[in-house]
Chains A and B, each alone.
Chain A
Amino acid sequence: MLEITTNHYLVLGFILFAIGLVGLVVRRNLIVVLMSIELMLNSVNLNLIAFSHQLADLAGQVFAVFTITVAAGEAAVGLGILLALYRLRGTTEIDVPSELRG
């Protein structure tokens, strides 16, 4: 318990991933859903860093750089969709009944 190993990072990573996943599933406001997605992507980085350290291999850190890049890009587009949604419907809630059925 007191010796911090890779496993600690993995468990923490998954806890954050799960919190993000729950947030994506249950929150009705799109902005919080977007934040949950960012949380999930960031938690994968924890895995990558931890493995990189254990394996003494830089590839994990490089992969994490790309993950951050993608997270940033997706945030931009997600917010664009949010703005378009807001202008169309005056709200950013995502389960207001609409024309598309399941």
Chain B
Amino acid sequence: MPAFDLREFLLLAPEILLAIGGLALLLAGSVGRGVPGRVAASLSLFFLVATALLVLTVEEVGPEPRLILGSSFVLDGFARFFKLVILAGTALTVLISVRFVDDGAYRAGEYHALLLLATTGMMFMVGGFNLVSIWIALELMALSSYILAGYFKRETRSNEAALKYFVLGALSSAILLYGASLLYGATGELRLDLLAAALPEAMVTGRLLVPTGWLMLSVGLLFKVAAVPFHVWTPDVYVGAPTPVTAYLAAASKTASFAILVRIFVQGLPTLLPDWQIVIAAVASVTMIWGNLAALTQTNVKRMLAYSSIAHAGYVLLGLLAASVIGLWSVAFYLLAYTFITLGAFAMVVVLERREYAGEEVSDYAGLARRAPWLAAAMLVFLLALTGIPPTGGFVGKVYLFAAAVEAGWTWVAVIGVLTSAISLYYYFSIAVQMYLKESTRDTPEPLGSPALTAAIATCVVATLVLGLFPGPFIEFAQAAGLPLP
């Protein structure tokens, strides 16, 4: 007796299509001398768009979440929202990769195949409803990411990035897994809802198994979102990996990791809410403080953006901390905005980069306002959004995150958020100062755009401004990404 109707697999059509896309690119890349970068990118985009359309049409997502496939997968508003955000992030990554992977001596077929397969992993992650499904999908995403980080294997920096990412990633996976095993031992359940139901009794009969288990699980999850003090891998990996891969890690990977963090905490561990709120409050505070302080002294833009992305993880944690309806949709909204902002910022870094790694210093932006006024303006929009200044999506997102925290009674954490955002103004605007107030010299790299890159930057700018000026419909969209709260 099968546990479910095999036709339920049809509801996985988006993920299946994307996996097929990955396979198609792999096959295309294995023919002859490999597939040219532009062809691979077009093919990737085709599959990403088709998958997004399938996500919108295949699942009739009603108000009630629908569990399928032996309850290892769920179709709800939460999963659907995050799948779309992740697909958008991947599509933008593909656009900014075009010149990068094409020029270099590295094959585009496998690169795009790995991107699509990593994204497939992310889609399974956000729809997973069972610790096993979530974990195996997480490993799929992580493994693809390790390879992508080391893709420029003849560059020492890339290899070292892959190495650090792999070792620390595997460590965090092992810790996460260990915690999950303890929770399984205490409750006998791996399904999130049954786990939640079994927790109260397990806390009595299992004594210290439950606290130990969820703490280790949390450590593993917090590693994945790069919260302090589990962030040590981020700066070196972000700097060493090829820039489009860095952008992908900062945006899509972080979004997917946050999605599972939220789902596991809210749907799997609701009884432990008071405990995890304390932990999240502490982690969020040190993350915001340390991320912003460390960014102050950076002169390498990629490293600065790495610390900035660590700090942003801190802001997003505020929404989870609130554990309220507004808390959850503010997390969703912010991750949506953050995807576009981050990809835009990294796209700007790609514009200035030469021979894979030149052009990453803040001083390389000198005089950009005169050399390429539209690009400088785009960068200015991203910098405003990252700091959280109107009229950008970054501002709106932060307002709601802080409001959610205050409303839930965590005002002091929100205050830390506001103060650290103010500090971040200094380092983000050091770039703006270079662009508008300094002169370029002979050594400053010329911005080299391409149609794909321009399209990506333009999309990100428009998205950031639209989210800031007309947030209404997007807030409604984010509100669909709700979860039943304890």
Q: Which of B174-182, B245-253, B321-329, B416-424 is found at the contact surface with chain A?
A: B174-182
Asked whether, in the complex, the Cβ of B147 is within 8 Å of the Cβ of A77, the reply is: yes
What 0/1 readout, one digit per residue, does chain B (199-224) give for beta carbons within 8 Å of chain A?
Answer: 00000000000000000000000000
Known A44-B174, A44-B177; judge A100-B239 contact (CB<8 A). Answer: yes
What 0/1 readout, one digit per residue, does chain B (168-207) give for beta carbons within 8 Å of chain A?
Answer: 0011011001101110110010100000000000000000
Give chain B's interface residues, CB within 8 Å of chain A: 131-132, 135-136, 139, 143, 146-147, 150, 153-154, 156-157, 159-163, 166-167, 170-171, 173-174, 177-178, 180-182, 184-185, 188, 190, 235-236, 239-240
CB < 8 Å neighbour of A44 from B150, B163, B181, B235 = B181
User: Which residues of A lie under 8 Å from residue B136 when comparing CB positions?
Assistant: 66, 69-70
Known A57-B188, A89-B156, A100-B239; judge A48-B181 contact (CB<8 A). Answer: yes
User: Which residues of A lie under 8 Å from residue B132 when comparing CB positions?
Assistant: 59, 62-63, 66
CB < 8 Å neighbour of B160 from A6, A24, A57, A98 = A98
User: Which residues of A lie under 8 Å from residue B166 when comparing CB positions?
Assistant: 74, 77-78, 81
Known A66-B135, A81-B146; judge A88-B159 contact (CB<8 A). Answer: yes
Known A44-B181, A47-B182; judge A37-B188 contact (CB<8 A). Answer: no
Asked whether, in the complex, the Cβ of B162 is within 8 Å of the Cβ of A74, the reply is: no
Known A66-B136, A84-B159; judge A51-B184 contact (CB<8 A). Answer: yes
Known A44-B177, A102-B236; judge A73-B143 contact (CB<8 A). Answer: yes
User: Which residues of B lie under 8 Å from residue A44 when comparing CB positions?
Assistant: 174, 177-178, 181
Interface residues on A, range: 35 or more
| Given pairs A48-B184, A55-B188, 10 additional interface contacts (CB within 8 A) | A10-B185, A37-B170, A41-B174, A59-B184, A66-B132, A70-B136, A74-B139, A88-B153, A94-B167, A102-B235
A5 at the interface (CB under 8 A from B): no
A99 at the interface (CB under 8 A from B): yes
Asked whether, in the complex, the Cβ of B154 is within 8 Å of the Cβ of A100, the reply is: no
Can you sample 26 A-B contacts with CB below 8 Å? A17-B174, A37-B170, A40-B174, A41-B174, A41-B177, A43-B178, A44-B178, A47-B178, A48-B184, A50-B185, A51-B184, A51-B188, A54-B185, A59-B184, A60-B181, A63-B132, A66-B132, A70-B139, A78-B166, A85-B159, A88-B153, A94-B163, A98-B160, A99-B160, A100-B240, A102-B236
Asked whether, in the complex, the Cβ of B178 is within 8 Å of the Cβ of A30, the reply is: no
Give chain A's interface residues, CB within 8 Å of chain B: 6, 10, 17, 20-21, 24, 30, 33, 37, 40-41, 43-44, 47-48, 50-51, 54-55, 57, 59-60, 62-63, 66-67, 69-70, 73-74, 77-78, 80-81, 84-85, 88-89, 94, 98-100, 102
- Cβ of B147 to closest chain A Cβ, rounded Å: 6
User: Which residues of A lie under 8 Å from residue B173 when comparing CB positions?
Assistant: 70
Asked whether, in the complex, the Cβ of A99 is within 8 Å of the Cβ of B156, the reply is: yes
CB < 8 Å neighbour of A78 from B135, B156, B170, B185 = B170
Q: A63–B171 Cα gap in the complex (Å)?
A: 18
CB < 8 Å neighbour of B185 from A24, A40, A55, A88 = A55
Q: A54–B136 Cα gap in the complex (Å)?
A: 24
Which chain A residue shows the least CB distance to B235? A102
Greatest chain B CB density within 10 A among A21, A51, A80, A102 is at A51
CB < 8 Å neighbour of B153 from A17, A21, A84 = A84
Which chain A residue shows the least CB distance to B190? A59
Which chain A residue shows the least CB distance to B136? A66
Which chain A residue shows the least CB distance to B144? A77
Asked whether, in the complex, the Cβ of A98 is within 8 Å of the Cβ of B156, the reply is: yes
User: Which residues of A lie under 8 Å from residue B236 when comparing CB positions?
Assistant: 100, 102
Asked whether, in the complex, the Cβ of B184 is within 8 Å of the Cβ of A63, the reply is: yes
